[in-house]
Structure 1
Amino acid sequence: MTRRQERLFVLEASSGGRLFSVNTDGTEKKVLVTGCRIPDGVAVDVVAGHIYWTNMGIPSENDGSIERVDLDGGNRTTIVPSGATYTPKQLHFEATGRKLYWGDREGMRVMRCDLDGSNVETLVQTGQGENDRRDETKWCVGVTVDPVGGHLYWTQKGPSDAGLGKILRTGIDLPAGESAAERGDIEVLFEGLPEPIDLELDLAERVLYWTDRGDPPRGNTVNRSPMDPPAGQRTPEILLTHLMEGIGIALDTDGGRMYVTDLAGNVYATDLDGSNRREILILQGNLTGIARAVLPAGTRV
């Protein structure tokens, strides 16, 4: 009997930009796509059989895009064309609403679209124009969604190692009569963080996880916090330290594991509390986004 396959899908921003997949122990690496324009965020829709990723393009230019391939790397398609988003970063596939969400860094916004790239929307706008674009505290990077609670979460990382990073949340949809630039339902969950990047949610346990690529001791870490803590008790718990600029994170909540990438080219596997740390890949180039998927038996990868 053919068993289902558990695979990690990882982006590598150097070496011309690549998307590859591996088993969760780091074996059987397969390069699926090359020639990506600084890829950053990746997401997998197992039901439809697609992998999605963002291309930052040239960060100073409005030329970002989002692409899609089949699980085996075939049928490469651009769904959000160059310039429809400025500098797309981390990417989230929300299975309930069948939408893609991403942070647009130099675009200073959080965006979403349908899975074919249609209905591109701006949900949060933190700034407008070139003067605001120079203010890195307005840059949106990581994103995730809680469809049960009805919330969208994102990071604004701030300048490198500046300790000005934030994690925020708001409603999934724009309130009636409000705009993305002036919505009254935004909450700041954390501020003064070194440089928060990617986000993931354990919806069953109501826990928020994130990577931070800023300076130690609070940076170069993986952190977590309850999504709904008692008032005034938002204190991050540091789970992993000594990353080399941590970027992507993917959770296996059923198996109690998480997977993390850093820009030094390492993929780490640990328990959800950060214990039993193991490097399953090392020196793979500048690694950015990571996603985990359980594929049906017989799926070709």
Structure 2
Amino acid sequence: MTSSTFLIALDVGLSNPVAGKSFRDIISQGEVLGISLDGKQVSTILSDSHFLSLPDGVIYHPANQRLYMTNMGVPPLNDGSVISTRLDGTDPQIILSKGQIHTPKQIALDKDNEKLYISDREGLRVMRCNLDGSGLETLIKTGDYKTPSDASDSTKWCVGIAVAPRRNAFYWTQKGPSKGTQGRVFCSRIDFEGERQAICLLDHLAEPIDLEIDQESNTLYWTDRGELPYGNTFNRVQLDESGLRLKKEAADDHTGLKHEIIVQNFDEAIGLARNPEDGRWFVSDMGGTIWSFDSDGGNKSVVFQDKRRSFTGIALSRE
């Protein structure tokens, strides 16, 4: 890459040819790509099937210049993992091994306290650990994954995650059934006394996936891969000063929504990342496209497209 700032994009590998391949081969086709912001330069950072098994979430830590990534493993098996590499894919390390976490999805970084936050979908929980995987703890538990009725209830599945240490808050999505309009966004305090409470900020969403919080403006953003017209969208909502409530609780008189839909017409939208230098957003979708647009949704354009790929999480990094 000639530019110091570039995209890290996870290709889950499910759009590669499957004819004649075993299921184990199919779920081991994932790759980690480095893509320039104009999409003209693409490099493979990691394609090691020993370390990649349906990669889903990724973050970059500028302090140690490492990537942290989640592997879903083989749903519904309890064999997900979290790994870390340098920006060039070298020095791969296992942060959370198989069995420590079930089906990890989005991962978020608390830079202030050097903590990783992870939504564990089929594990029915939100987890937190140190950068080396020590101190693993469950912050939120929506059910017992060993109980069949809980495990099959997708309204309990935790997918997206974001953390706002300035507000002493973290946020997660529970997506609900595919295209089911039962998705919800929750928040809770990081530090607290007594029993941790899950606060529902939004409900009846199409199918919310990944999250990002802008602590400067106290705005929560997310992707939604649900059914049209409200699904396959990029959304935002303004929070109050506490970060635990919506700034405006009442739905808009005209739209009937409590949140804003900024961009639409993605192809199974998943990842999101914002460039702090110019405020432009990037969204990845499972249709093999990475998009970019202004903060108001204008100037939407294709950064990179490859229909043989299926993108999940994305992040911005600097060399």
Equivalence map 1:35-74=2 (5 Å)? 35=49, 36-74=52-90
Give the equivalent residue in structure 2 for 1:265.
Answer: 288
Deviations 1:88-135 (A, max 9, x none): 001111111111111100000001110011111110000012220110
Counterpart code for 1:224: R
Counterpart code for 2:313: G
Give the equivalent residue in structure 2 for 1:20.
Answer: 33
Instruction: Give the distance between the partners of 1:193 and 1:94, measured in 2 at CA.
Output: 27
SS in 1 for 2:167: coil
Name the stretch that deviates more: 82-91 or 253-262. 253-262
Instruction: Give the distance between the partners of 1:231 and 1:121, measured in 2 at CA.
Output: 32
Match of 2:173 among 132, 144, 155: 155
Give the equivalent residue in structure 1 for 2:224.
Answer: 212
Instruction: Give the distance between the partners of 2:292 and 2:40, measured in 1 at CA.
Output: 13
The answer to whether 1:202 aligns with 2:202 is no
Give the equivalent residue in structure 2 for 1:119.
Answer: 135
Equivalence map 1:1-301=2 (5 Å)? 5-14=4-13, 15=16, 16-34=29-47, 35=49, 36-128=52-144, 129-173=147-191, 175-178=192-195, 183=196, 185-228=197-240, 229-233=247-251, 235-283=258-306, 285-295=309-319
Instruction: Give the distance between the partners of 1:73 and 1:293, measured in 2 at CA.
Output: 13
Tell me if structure 1 keeps the 8 A contact 2:108–2:116: yes
Instruction: Give the distance between the partners of 1:80 and 1:267, measured in 2 at CA.
Output: 28
Question: CA shift at 1:4, angstroms?
Answer: 6.7
Structure 1 segments, 4+ long, off by >2 Å, are 175-178, 230-234
Counterpart code for 1:80: L
Instruction: Give the distance between the partners of 2:110 and 2:34, measured in 1 at CA.
Output: 21
Tell me if structure 1 keeps the 8 A contact 2:238–2:248: no
Unaligned runs of 5+ in 2: 17-28, 241-246, 252-256
Give the equivalent residue in structure 2 for 1:299.
Answer: none
Counterpart code for 2:36: N
Determine what percentage of the aligned residue pairs are the same residue: 40
**TM value normalised by structure 1:** 0.92
Instruction: Give the distance between the partners of 1:48 and 1:191, measured in 2 at CA.
Output: 37
- Number of residue-to-residue matches in the alignment: 287
- C-alpha RMSD of the superposition: 1.4
Instruction: Give the distance between the partners of 1:155 and 1:260, measured in 2 at CA.
Output: 17
Question: CA shift at 1:267, angstroms?
Answer: 0.2
Instruction: Give the distance between the partners of 1:213 and 1:252, measured in 2 at CA.
Output: 22
SS in 2 for 1:132: helix
SS in 1 for 2:313: strand
SS in 1 for 2:149: helix
Question: CA shift at 1:240, angstroms?
Answer: 1.0
Instruction: Give the distance between the partners of 1:217 and 1:115, measured in 2 at CA.
Output: 39
Tell me if structure 2 keeps the 8 A contact 1:202–1:253: no
**TM value normalised by structure 2:** 0.87
Unaligned runs of 5+ in 1: 296-301
Counterpart code for 1:159: P
Counterpart code for 2:295: L
Deviations 1:162-210 (A, max 9, x none): 100000000113x3443xxxx3x32111000010000011111111110
Question: CA shift at 1:47, angstroms?
Answer: 1.4
